[in-house]
Amino acid sequence: MIEQNPEKPEPADIATKKRRRFNGGVLVITALLVGFLLGGAAFGGRKAGTDPAGSGDAAEVLVAATTAATPTPDPLPKPGDFTVAVNVLEKHCFGAAGCNITYRVEPAYTGSTPLPEGQEFTVVYEMNGGDEPQIGHFTISGKVANFSSQEMIQTTSSKAELTAKVTGVL
């Protein structure tokens, strides 16, 4: 027979005590939640969206303050404010199979208003003259345009002319 250490309770006692402690904890949490909910209703909490004076205009004041503090960005240029020239860098033709053309775009801003300062935006263009239209883009930050140094397109003929048209400004 193995003796039980009197400082350590029997396994059945541990399970009973844990269960009682757990049930007591649930009761305490439930009582706190009920008390909180009843106490808030009994002591007259304010309705959401009202100010302490009770005029109901807190939401309007917040919207007005937020609108006044937020500077509006300059409007973006329109697609018609840009032109995109296409410079052919290399052309490799394969008879009836067509050509592989390496090109570089050279964007230009032709708008009547200055470009927005401190804003970066993307200009999207469509390249035509290849087997299929090809979509490209460049970004403008201040007065600097960033674009690929060269791109490639395939054509069905060596006589194909590449043209680019700006389709959007994001």
Residue 16 backbone phi and psi in degrees, to 5: -65, -45
Tokens of 115: 């470009």
Please list the ranges in the chain whose pLDDT falls under 70: 1-70
Sheet containing strand 144-146, strands side by side: 144-146, 134-141, 120-128, 163-169
8 Å CB contact between 112 and 100: no
